[in-house]
Amino acid sequence: MDTLPPLAAVFLDRDGVLNIDHGYVSDPDRLEWIEGAREAVVALTRAGLRLMVVTNQSGIGRGYFEEAAMHGFHAEMQRQLAPLGGRIETFYFAPHHEDAAVEAYRVADHPDRKPNPGMLLRGLAEAGLTADQAVIIGDKPSDVEAGRRAGMPGYLFPGGDLHAFVVSVLGDRVPGLA
């Protein structure tokens, strides 16, 4: 039986996995963490894994908010995680949508927009990893499909406590995950 190499990275969808999805969330004051999300990030960070967020952000392309607002939201996530010992290494985002109001982002089926695997493939390449060293956790079938297209396992988070879910799906591949 073939064994998988040690897990080195976890890709996480953002809205609905890390934070409550209020619809096009970009204001740091509206950051509300999913139950167990901070604890999951801390546990995975302490286990030595690289954490990368991959998020479709069509609100930018639709003109609902500026890219700078999204970066501010991500900075607030990092600020709140840091004192707990958690860290997200990189945030990848896809502002594209076929109906985007911003012409530069009006692209049908952009390679980065999930379920396409562009953000995952870029993350693997930039981290010097192979698909069998990573997984993706998302709350939509398009997240899992992006993982499949990138060659990595995908786990569909059904809601509830993210930390408990992460331990249940990754505990066998991550020694000491708690």
The model's confidence at residue 1, banded by pLDDT at 50, 70 and 90, is: very low
User: Which residue of the set 2, 13, 27, 99 is catalytic?
Assistant: 13
Averaged pLDDT score across all residues of the chain: 95
The pairs formed by 157-161 with CB atoms below 8 angstroms and a separation of 24 or more are 157/13, 157/16, 157/17, 159/16, 159/34, 160/35, 160/36, 161/35, 161/36
- Percent of the chain with pLDDT strictly greater than 70: 99
User: Which residue of the set 2, 15, 27, 109 is catalytic?
Assistant: 15
Residue ranges of the domains in the chain? 9-170
Mind giving me the DSSP string for 94-156?
A: E--BTT-SSGGGB-TT-TTSTTS-HHHHHHHHHHT--GGGEEEEESSHHHHHHHHHHTS-EEE
The response to whether 96 counts as a known ligand-binding position is yes
**Residue 2: predicted pLDDT:** 57
The answer to whether 172 is a known catalytic residue is no
- Percent of the chain with pLDDT strictly greater than 90: 92
9-170 maps to which CATH number?
A: 3.40.50.1000
pLDDT (average), residues 70-97: 97
The response to whether 113 counts as a known ligand-binding position is yes
The model's confidence at residue 54, banded by pLDDT at 50, 70 and 90, is: very high
In the predicted structure, residue 42 carries a pLDDT above the cut 70: yes
Model pLDDT for residues 154-171, shown as the tens digit of each residue: 999 999 999 999 999 999
The response to whether 57 counts as a known ligand-binding position is yes
The answer to whether 109 is a known catalytic residue is no
8 A C-beta contact, residue 86 and residue 38? yes
The model's confidence at residue 13, banded by pLDDT at 50, 70 and 90, is: very high
The response to whether 114 counts as a known ligand-binding position is yes
